[in-house]
Amino acid sequence: MKKLALSTLVLLSIVAAQAPQAQPPRPPLVACEAGKNVPCVVLATNPADIAGVWKQYQSNPAFAPQGGMGYIRYNPDGSFVLGATPEGTRTPTAPFPSGTFRFEGSRMILEVKGVPPNMPECARAVHEVRVLRVGNQPVALSFTPIEDTCKPRLSDLGQAVIFIGR
């Protein structure tokens, strides 16, 4: 009986120690259809899917603009820049972070430069990104964290990120 209990305990320990298995992404609530100018959702899989300037909340005390709202520019080359104004996202400017992003399937991997030294958990994140559109026109981004422990970013991206322009 002790041997069975010990074997069960070892087996449970092995199962608990394994990394969680990645779940497949949920399908869009309303898939986009060519030629239809209606609200729909696309799961982003490449930088071009999210390229443009977007307005978002920015609550990180290291760089939060007045009013707690700012902008992020995702470029087709896989770079991004945060700023207090749309123009401020053209080139990286301290204290705002910048960095790179890439997609592995439906997972966006974010690598951040300019992370405050006391916030190393904000240097990398993995999210799924849904693009809410009307026809072909982007309207907002919705982020689902897969691997992210940066509390300010999780708070900011817990709200829709609104499309401003290209």
What per-residue confidence (pLDDT) applies to 9? 36
Query: Taking all residues of the chain, what is their mean pLDDT, rounded to a whole number?
Result: 86
- Tell me, which fold does domain 42-165 have in CATH? Lipocalin (2.40.128)
Is the torsion defined by CA of 166, 164, 42, 91 positive or negative? positive
Percentage of residues in the chain having pLDDT higher than 70: 86
Alpha carbon distance 84, 59 (integer Å): 12
Q: What per-residue confidence (pLDDT) applies to 30?
A: 82
Q: What is the gyration radius of the CA atoms in the chain, in angstroms?
A: 19
Are 56 and 157 a contacting pair, CB within 8 Å? Answer: yes
What pLDDT does residue 20 have? Answer: 43
| Alpha-helical segments (H) within the chain | 2-17, 151-157
Residue showing tokens 């970013």: 153
HSE-up of residue 27 (Cα within 13 Å, Cβ side): 4
pLDDT in tens, 98-144: 999 999 999 999 999 988 889 999 999 999 999 999 999 999 999 99
pLDDT of residue 24: 64
Q: What is the DSSP letter of 65?
A: P
Measured between alpha carbons, how far apart are the two ends of the chain, in Å? 68
Per-residue pLDDT band at 87 (split at 50, 70, 90): very high
Over 90: is that where the pLDDT of 23 sits?
no
> CB–CB of 144/128 below 8 Å?
yes
Question: How many CB atoms are closer than 10 A to CB 74?
Answer: 24
Q: How many residues does the chain have?
A: 166
Q: Where are the domains of the chain?
A: 42-165
pLDDT at 102: 98
What's at 138, amino acid-wise? P
